[in-house]
Amino acid sequence: MAIRVQPIRRLERGLRVVSEAVRGRHVYVWLGVVAAVTAVGTLGYVAFFGWPVTDSLFMVVITLTTVGYREVHDLTTFPEQLWTMLLAVAGVGIIFGTIGIVAETIISEAASGRREVRRMREAVAGLRGHFIVCGYGRVGSTVAREFEHTGVRLVVIDVMSESVERAQKAGNLVVEGDATDDATLRAAGVERARGLVTCIDSDAHNVYVTLSARSINPKLFIVARANTLGAEAKLLQAGANRVVSPYTNAGRRIAELAVRPHVADYIDAALSHGNVTFSLEDIEVDADSPLIGVTVASLRERGVVVLAILRGDGAFEANPPESRALRDGERVIASGSSEALALIEARA
């Protein structure tokens, strides 16, 4: 349904642009010129030739608009004819001025739109290791804001013109189009992306986006939104690494706040982008990492507490001993000050 109404929404967007353009300063100047010519022309007939005000105004209007009705009074003398000719020339100038203003508005908007699209395309082409957010609704816009707070580079994909405008105003790089289309995903740099979040309102669309993105980039980390319980299994089968159900998560969150409120508060504070005193991080230990062979005790001396280690086989090793050394292919779930964690992440 969203795809069908796109031309109508683009027309509405164009009408808004024209509406904003007619409030420009040059339009007020043009209106002032029209009013001034009308007033001067009317006063000329009244003062120079003794015509009534109503007849003078009518004569000026039909002359400026080149309507061509019969003259109110016979133009028998050359001064009257000359004054009318000057008004006719002014009317032609006003008409051409009107056409010029409209053309300038349309051309400048088209040119600026093309420039903006080209700028977006060039900026996206230069991204590496970024995230893609498909769908900029209530969930998608929240995801994008969280990415922004953490300093993650991202590209937003949405088919709705209103959502695209909101994403642009928020300072995001945007690709307007259908995220289920491979060409749209490639335009967002899915081959070079680190991860993708699909949070479209339709489960079918989320499954299709997941399938398309996985086929283009097998190494992509995909987080998908499930709007119904039955969609979770389908999204996992389609290739999603993680599936999130806003309704299920909301229920779990409410229960956690009721049973373990202080634990939930601690996790919120640790994951909050506004907290600079301590944080939780997921640190990868790859083959070239200087963290290989570093012990849990050594990390603690640097102000980093290892809460768990995710081994290569996918199992968590909670509360590892002080003598435990890190190995290639593991991930460290650590807590500590934001500054200490940043230093460890830089080394990793």
Tens digit of pLDDT for each residue in 323-348?
A: 999 988 889 998 888 778 777 776 66
Highest mean pLDDT of the ranges 9-13, 58-62, 200-204, 278-282: 200-204
Residue 4 belongs to a domain:
no
Residue 6 belongs to a domain:
no
> Model confidence at 8, in pLDDT bands (50, 70, 90)?
low
Residue 280 CB: number of other CB atoms within 10 A? 15
Examine the domain organization and report whether 204 and 309 are in the same domain: no
> Model confidence at 321, in pLDDT bands (50, 70, 90)?
very high
Examine the domain organization and report whether 57 and 105 are in the same domain: yes
pTM of the model: 0.58
Examine the domain organization and report whether 330 and 240 are in the same domain: no
Examine the domain organization and report whether 149 and 228 are in the same domain: yes
Examine the domain organization and report whether 245 and 183 are in the same domain: yes
Q: What is the pLDDT of residues 121-170, one digit of tens each?
A: 888 888 999 999 999 998 999 999 988 877 789 999 999 989 998 998 89
Examine the domain organization and report whether 110 and 36 are in the same domain: yes
Helix (H/G/I), strand (E/B), else coil: 323:
coil
Secondary structure percentages of the chain, helix, strand, coil, to 5: 55, 15, 30
Examine the domain organization and report whether 75 and 161 are in the same domain: no
Examine the domain organization and report whether 338 and 325 are in the same domain: yes
Domain count, the chain: 3
CATH number at residue 294: 3.30.70.1450
Q: Look at residue 197 and tell me whether its pLDDT is greater than 70.
A: yes
Where among 61, 93, 123 does a domain terminate?
Answer: 123
Residue 202 belongs to a domain:
yes
Examine the domain organization and report whether 110 and 132 are in the same domain: no
CA 178/CA 312 separation, integer angstroms: 37
Q: Look at residue 266 and tell me whether its pLDDT is greater than 60.
A: yes
Q: What is the pLDDT of residues 29-55, one digit of tens each?
A: 777 888 888 888 888 888 888 888 888
| Residue 227 structural domain | 128-250
The contacts of residue 157 (CB under 8 Å, 6+ apart) are 132, 133, 134, 135, 174, 175, 176, 177, 179, 184, 185, 188
